[in-house]
Amino acid sequence: MALIACKECGENVSTKAKACPHCGNPAKKETFLRDIFLALIIIFIFFSVVITLRSGAPLLDGNTKKMAINKIKQYPEIIEAAITQKGDDLSLVLIVPANTSIKKARDLGDNFVRMVKSLSEDAPEPGKKIGKGIYRYLIRVNTKQEEKIVLGAKVQTAENITW
Ligand SMILES: [Zn+2]
């Protein structure tokens, strides 16, 4: 056990002592480690906050929703269209005539997701695939009588909608 002179009072203090037993001056090593520890905690909290703020998907603003709805309504089959967002989840609903085939309903759903992706920050990938994104999609194509024609979902990591 080595002894060093206290910087405050000059008395001998063990290097392992947390503070000088004569005057109570805290050991330098101890305060240095404590400062590093505090700095690490502050950095950790800072990055935790930054990551938390960044993890949520951006909010689809009313204008983007309106543009996507107007675009999908250009298809003559679309009676009504709606988009609702809850965190990362985007719920897309299309109302079509009762005689719409399952294949046609899926195509319309695919196109609606593509339109939302191209208008939002959830950029589409070129080609046939809808591509990975920042939102989770739930797609529902209904008749006016609220009867379901098709129901689909796409998680962020998926390339396509699962119908
Ligand atoms: Zn001292």
**Cα(4) to centroid of ligand 1, in Å?**
10
pLDDT tens, residue by residue, 92-106: 999 999 999 999 999
Ordered structural domains, the chain, with CATH: 3-55 (no CATH), 62-154 (3.30.70.1350)
| Per-residue pLDDT, 14 | 87
Task: Give, as residue ranges, everything with CB less than 5 Å from ion ligand 1.
Answer: 6, 8-9, 20, 22-23, 25
Provide the 8-state DSSP code for 81. Answer: E
pLDDT tens, residue by residue, 14-50: 888 888 889 988 876 667 788 899 999 999 999 888 7
CB atoms < 10 A from the CB of 152, how many? 19
Mean pLDDT, residues 46-60:
78
**Cα(2) to centroid of ligand 1, in Å?**
15
Question: CA–CA separation, 148 vs 59, rounded Å?
Answer: 27
